[in-house]
Copies of this chain bind each other. A is one copy, B any other.
Amino acid sequence: MCKTCGCSFRSRDFGNIERFIEPCILLLLSKSSSHGYGLMEDLEKHCGEKVDIGDLYRTLRRMEKDDWVKSDWEKNIAGPDRRTYTITADGKNFLMSAASSLIRTDKLIHRFLEGYQKIKIIH
C-alpha cells in the first residue's frame, strides 16, 4: 500500500539490488577507514546511492557482526565522537565475491534489455 497517496499500488522504486550498499561500503573502506556519517556522504557522492541513514548505521553494525569490518571509537574535537570502521580480511573476500555476483547480475540485466529492445522494435 502506497503511503503517500493511500492508493493500492506499491510505491518502492524498482530495480533495487538487495544489500547493494554493503559492497559499496566495503569498496569505500578499502580505500580508507571511515565512520557512518562520512560514509553516507561518500556513498551519495561517489556511488550514486541515496542512503537511509538509519539503515546505514544498522547495516554497519550487522557487517561488524559478520566480521567484514571492525570498529573503534575515535575522539572528535569538532563534534560528537565517531565510530570508525575498518575493512577486515573477510570483508575483502566478501567484496571480491560480491563483484563476481554483480557481474552475473549485470549479464541478467543485459539479457533482459536485449529482449526488451526486440519487442520494442516489433510493437
Chain A residues within CB distance 8 Å of chain B:
8-10, 12-20, 22-24, 27, 30-31, 46-49, 65-66, 94-95, 97-99, 101-113, 115-116, 119, 123
Contacts and interface: CB of A to CB of B under 8 A. Distances in A.
**How many identical subunits does the complex contain?**
2
B101 A116 contact: no
Contacts of A30: 119, 123
Nearest to A49: B108
A15 B104 contact: yes
A22 B113 CA distance: 14
Contacts of A15: 17-18, 98, 101-102, 104-105
B47 A105 contact: no
A41 to B, nearest CB: 16
